[in-house]
């Protein structure tokens, strides 16, 4: 038999052949199938012929198949039979029987499962990709984003070094180039402040109510000519200073980071000027920092009391001016606008003097300025008053305490009772604090009035018949400090009250000398023996008399010390402290005349202020330098005012004889 030349396999054929080999192991290519007989009989014969089978279909056969006899010989061999059947089936040869259905079905099933798995995997991958496309982006917190950004920035060396370099350049520009520096600082919200003082060029004194404008902010100067502007943008700007009757001042300035004190600026006066000389009406002492005001214009006095007031020229024929000084009454003036001469102004203390007068036939309470002006009736008398009236003014406030029988109230025995009345001098209102057979005002301790009264309805056998009480006029709070059958003595000094309870109807241990504050706290026993009398022999020293001995107590000590001998003729002094605590007044009797003395609490020196017949208590302070004393003679009972800095005393008004803060009289 002749062998036919096999055509070269196309790519499709090679693929089919590879598939057959993959699933069937491929036909044996090394050794042809032989029958057992031919193998044993003739080993030298030519190899069996190969038959070229032409597929009835258009598909080329994948390879040279074994001849039919060889296929027949292999029918009994399962593997060969399966391979042949498969090859023939794939080649489309109709006369070759198909492979066994069971075996072919399993193979196809395995192939289908593999294909399905691969397809499912591919579809799943595609679904995942599609899902990722439509999946919303994951949100990160600001902190995570910031950390991610910083991590990326730090790991990126060019970006990191570039940023640091830019920052360094920016800092250099910020510190060197003013325009850049101020722009950057303003951008991040940095602001500065500036302070200015404005003076009158003609007097070199501060100017009030001057409009100062800087970096878009405006403000008026205070009484001291000062102004401070806050929250200003930094950089070059313009300072503008304007006041009526003065030439405006404009100057370029630079607002830097910080406080920027810009110094003082003097304005040149362009309006009309008026001059005033301000002095105390008693001492004729020049008053510094007095203020003259006319509309928007104002000016202050120098150390010589001179005020130069600059105002806008106008067509008004009269100029209204008000002069103000702390603790003095305002003085209102009406001046001819053409008057250019100096005006001498005497200033009077603002506090009112309170006194009792019987000029109407009744004991009326009045208030008046110490120059005799602006007298007004405060509380009219009822005609029921006895002449044992007491009037005690507050050290600094416009308040006074009055003890009188004006209410005409009697107890069950028909005894006329005294009433303690508090008077508000500002609006002339009154408040009743107590009614009793006896009321003694010991004095003021700050805003608290300290007094002693007999308890209503208490008999002489009552162990708590006398009550020591303090009343706060601002809060209307009342506090009982102590009680006893009676008190041998009570003295108010500064912020403390010293009292000596009687031993009657109580244990001796409760009698002695006791110190308390105005609220009844911090009580301290200074002497455990009953004290009969307290003599204030000096500003800071007591002499204490007991049944058998004398003691001495110095203010501030914890106990009283026993004296070896009795003091010679001790005199009780009533000191009245000034509002500032620097001076204290007391009255002595010498050569038949009264002497008013001023005790300097710092130097401990005394000087005589007035030596006059009939000079006596009550005395009081109006200001730290102005005081009032009383003259009682057969010719007159009147109140006088004077200044410790000098000048002559002046009579205020005639008054009725009344007591004030006085010595204890319940012996």
Each residue of 361-420: pLDDT tens digit? 999 999 999 999 999 999 999 999 999 999 999 999 999 999 999 999 998 888 899 999
Choose the final residue of a domain: 235, 267, 299. 267
Same domain (yes/no): 539, 582: no
**Residue 213 is part of a domain; what is its CATH number?**
2.60.40.10
Residue 94: what pLDDT?
Answer: 45
Residue 576: what pLDDT?
Answer: 95
Residue 33: what pLDDT?
Answer: 43
* Within a domain: 38: no
Evaluate if residue 205 carries a pLDDT over 90: yes
**Residue 293 is part of a domain; what is its CATH number?**
2.60.40.1120
Helices (H), 217-335: none
Going through 494-636 in order, the beta strands assigned E by DSSP cover: 496-501, 513-516, 524-527, 533-538, 541-545, 550-554, 561-562, 576-577, 583-590, 593-600, 606-612, 615-621, 626-632
258: left (phi over 0), alpha (psi -120 to 50) or beta: left
Helix 178-187 crosses helix 157-176 at what angle (to 10 degrees)? Answer: 110
Residue 601: what pLDDT?
Answer: 95
Residue 145: what pLDDT?
Answer: 76
Evaluate if residue 96 carries a pLDDT over 90: no
Do 313 and 330 meet the contact criterion of CB atoms below 8 Å apart? no
Do 549 and 567 meet the contact criterion of CB atoms below 8 Å apart? no
Could you tell me whether strands 318-324 and 487-493 are parallel, antiparallel, or unpaired per DSSP bridges?
Answer: unpaired
Whole-angstrom distance, CA of residue 532 vs CA of residue 537: 16
- Structural domain that includes position 615: 576-654
Same domain (yes/no): 389, 528: yes
- Number of neighbouring beta carbons within 10 Å of residue 443: 23
Average pLDDT in the 502-525 region? Answer: 85
Residue 217: what pLDDT?
Answer: 93
Beta bridge partners of 434: 420
The total number of structural domains that make up the chain: 6
Same domain (yes/no): 288, 358: no
Lowest-confidence range among 18-27, 529-538, 627-636? 18-27
* Within a domain: 666: no
487: CB partners within 8 A, 6+ apart:
452, 466, 468, 499, 500, 501, 502, 664, 666
Do 526 and 553 meet the contact criterion of CB atoms below 8 Å apart? yes
Evaluate if residue 62 carries a pLDDT over 50: no
pLDDT tier for residue 455 given thresholds of 50, 70 and 90: confident
Q: Which residue has the higher pLDDT, 136 or 313?
A: 313
Same domain (yes/no): 427, 328: no
- At 422-445, the pLDDT tens digits run 999 999 999 999 999 999 999 999
Average pLDDT in the 64-82 region? Answer: 46
pTM: 0.70
* Within a domain: 663: no
Whole-angstrom distance, CA of residue 341 vs CA of residue 275: 7
Residue 276: what pLDDT?
Answer: 96
Do 229 and 217 meet the contact criterion of CB atoms below 8 Å apart? yes
Same domain (yes/no): 536, 551: yes
Question: 585-590 contacts: CB < 8 A, separation 24 or more?
Answer: 585/609, 585/619, 585/621, 585/627, 586/619, 587/615, 587/616, 587/617, 587/619, 587/629
Average pLDDT in the 20-46 region? Answer: 47
* Within a domain: 567: no
Choose the final residue of a domain: 267, 287, 312. 267
* Within a domain: 182: no
Q: Sheet containing 524-527: give its strands across.
A: 487-493, 496-501, 513-516, 524-527
Residue 398: what pLDDT?
Answer: 95
pLDDT tier for residue 56 given thresholds of 50, 70 and 90: very low
Residue 18: what pLDDT?
Answer: 62
**Residue 625 is part of a domain; what is its CATH number?**
2.40.128
Task: Tell me phi and psi for residue 298, to 5 degrees.
Answer: -155, 155
**Residue 419 is part of a domain; what is its CATH number?**
2.130.10.10
48: CB partners within 8 A, 6+ apart:
32, 34, 66, 67, 69, 70
Same domain (yes/no): 413, 282: no
Structure tokens at 347: 């200033």
Same domain (yes/no): 598, 648: yes
* Within a domain: 1: no
pLDDT tier for residue 159 given thresholds of 50, 70 and 90: confident
**CA-based nearest residue to 131, from 141, 120, 139, 123:** 123
pLDDT tier for residue 530 given thresholds of 50, 70 and 90: very high
Question: 316-321 contacts: CB < 8 A, separation 24 or more?
Answer: 319/274, 319/294, 320/294, 320/295, 321/274, 321/276, 321/292, 321/293, 321/294
Average pLDDT in the 239-258 region? Answer: 93
Q: Which residue has the higher pLDDT, 66 or 225?
A: 225
Whole-angstrom distance, CA of residue 316 vs CA of residue 313: 9
Same domain (yes/no): 484, 399: yes
Q: Give how far Cα 628 sits from Cα of 599, 612, 618, Å.
A: 16, 14, 8
Same domain (yes/no): 372, 412: yes
- Number of neighbouring beta carbons within 10 Å of residue 377: 13
* Within a domain: 659: no
**CA-based nearest residue to 499, from 651, 304, 666:** 666
Largest CA distance in the chain: 189
Lowest-confidence range among 147-151, 452-456, 478-482? 147-151
pLDDT tier for residue 127 given thresholds of 50, 70 and 90: low
Evaluate if residue 595 carries a pLDDT over 90: yes
Whole-angstrom distance, CA of residue 222 vs CA of residue 208: 5
Candidate ranges 27-36, 134-143, 528-537; pick with highest mean pLDDT: 528-537
Residue 2: what pLDDT?
Answer: 44
Evaluate if residue 41 carries a pLDDT over 70: no
Whole-angstrom distance, CA of residue 540 vs CA of residue 494: 11
- At 354-376, the pLDDT tens digits run 999 999 999 999 999 999 999 99
Same domain (yes/no): 338, 357: no
**CA-based nearest residue to 433, from 399, 461, 387, 410:** 399
Same domain (yes/no): 359, 342: no
Buried b (16+ CB within 10 A) or exposed e, 323-362: bbbeebbebebebeeeeeeebebebbbbbbbbbbbbeeee
Whole-angstrom distance, CA of residue 51 vs CA of residue 66: 6
Evaluate if residue 60 carries a pLDDT over 60: no
- At 620-630, the pLDDT tens digits run 999 999 999 99
Same domain (yes/no): 102, 195: no
Choose the final residue of a domain: 324, 347, 370. 347
- At 539-594, the pLDDT tens digits run 999 999 999 899 999 999 999 999 999 998 888 999 999 999 999 999 999 999 99
Percent of the chain with pLDDT over 70: 78
* Within a domain: 181: no
DSSP H/E element including 123: helix 101-134
Whole-angstrom distance, CA of residue 371 vs CA of residue 39: 166
Average pLDDT, the chain: 83
């Amino acid at each position: 038999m002749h062998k036919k030349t096999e055509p070269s396999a196309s790519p499709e054929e090679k693929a089919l052949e590879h598939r057959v080999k993959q699933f069937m192991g491929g036909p044996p290519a090394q050794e042809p199938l032989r029958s057992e007989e031919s193998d044993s009989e003739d080993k030298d014969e030519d190899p069996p012929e190969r038959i070229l089978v032409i597929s009835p279909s258009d598909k080329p056969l994948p390879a040279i198949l074994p001849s039919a006899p060889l296929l027949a010989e292999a029918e009994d061999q399962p593997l060969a039979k399966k391979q042949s059947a498969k090859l023939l089936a794939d080649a489309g040869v109709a006369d070759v029987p198909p492979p066994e259905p069971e075996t072919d079905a399993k193979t196809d099933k395995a192939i289908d499962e593999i294909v399905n798995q691969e397809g499912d995997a591919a579809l799943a991958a595609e679904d995942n990709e599609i899902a990722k496309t439509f999946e919303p982006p994951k949100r990160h917190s600001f902190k995570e984003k910031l950390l991610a950004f910083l991590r990326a920035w730090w790991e990126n060396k060019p970006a990191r070094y570039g940023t640091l370099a830019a920052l360094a350049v920016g800092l250099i520009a910020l510190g060197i180039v003013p325009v850049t520096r101020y722009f950057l600082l303003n951008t991040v919200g940095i602001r500065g402040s500036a302070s200015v003082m404005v003076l009158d060029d003609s007097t070199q004194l501060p100017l009030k109510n001057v409009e100062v404008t800087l970096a878009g902010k405006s403000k008026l100067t205070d009484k001291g000519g000062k102004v401070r502007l806050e929250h200003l943008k930094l950089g070059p700007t313009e300072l503008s200073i304007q006041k009526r009757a003065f030439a405006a001042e404009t100057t370029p300035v630079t607002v830097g980071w910080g406080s920027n004190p810009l110094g003082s600026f003097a304005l040149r006066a362009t309006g009309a000027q008026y001059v005033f000389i301000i002095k105390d009406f008693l001492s004729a002492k020049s008053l510094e920092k007095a203020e003259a005001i006319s509309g928007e214009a104002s000016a202050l006095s120098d150390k010589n009391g001179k005020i130069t007031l600059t105002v806008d020229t106008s067509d008004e024929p009269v100029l209204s001016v008000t002069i103000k000084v702390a603790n003095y009454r305002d003085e209102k003036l009406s001046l001819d606008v053409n008057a250019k001469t100096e005006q001498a102004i005497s200033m009077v203390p603002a506090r009112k003097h309170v006194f009792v007068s019987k000029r109407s036939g009744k004991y009326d309470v009045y208030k008046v300025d110490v120059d005799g002006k602006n007298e007004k009736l405060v509380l009219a008398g009822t005609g029921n008053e006895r002449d044992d009236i007491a009037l005690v003014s507050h050290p600094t406030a416009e308040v006074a305490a009055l003890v009188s029988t004006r209410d005409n109230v009697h107890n069950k025995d028909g005894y006329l009772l005294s009433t303690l009345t508090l008077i508000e001098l500002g609006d002339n209102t009154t408040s009743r604090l107590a009614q009793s057979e006896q009321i003694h005002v010991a004095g003021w301790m700050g805003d608290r009035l300290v007094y002693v009264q007999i308890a209503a309805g208490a008999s002489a056998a009552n162990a708590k018949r006398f009550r020591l009480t303090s009343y706060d006029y601002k809060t209307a709070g009342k506090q009982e400090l102590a009680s006893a059958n009676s008190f041998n003595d009570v003295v108010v000094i500064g912020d403390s009250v010293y009292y000596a309870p009687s031993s009657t109807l109580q244990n001796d241990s409760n009698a002695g000398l006791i110190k308390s504050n105005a609220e009844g706290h911090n009580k301290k026993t200074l002497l455990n023996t009953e004290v009969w009398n307290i003599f204030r022999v000096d500003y800071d020293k007591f002499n204490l008399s007991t049944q058998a001995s004398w003691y001495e107590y110095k203010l501030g000590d914890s106990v009283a010390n026993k004296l070896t001998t009795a003091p010679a003729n001790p005199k009780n002094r009533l000191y009245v402290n000034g509002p500032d605590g620097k001076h204290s007044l007391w009255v002595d009797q010498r050569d038949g005349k009264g002497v008013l003395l001023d005790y300097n609490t710092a130097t401990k020196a005394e000087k005589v202020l007035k030596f006059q017949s009939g000079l006596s208590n009550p005395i009081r302070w109006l200001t730290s330098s102005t005081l009032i004393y009383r003259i009682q003679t057969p010719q007159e009972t009147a109140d006088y005012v004077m200044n410790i800095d000098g000048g002559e005393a002046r009579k205020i008004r005639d008054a009725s004889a009344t007591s004030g803060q006085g010595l204890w009289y319940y012996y």
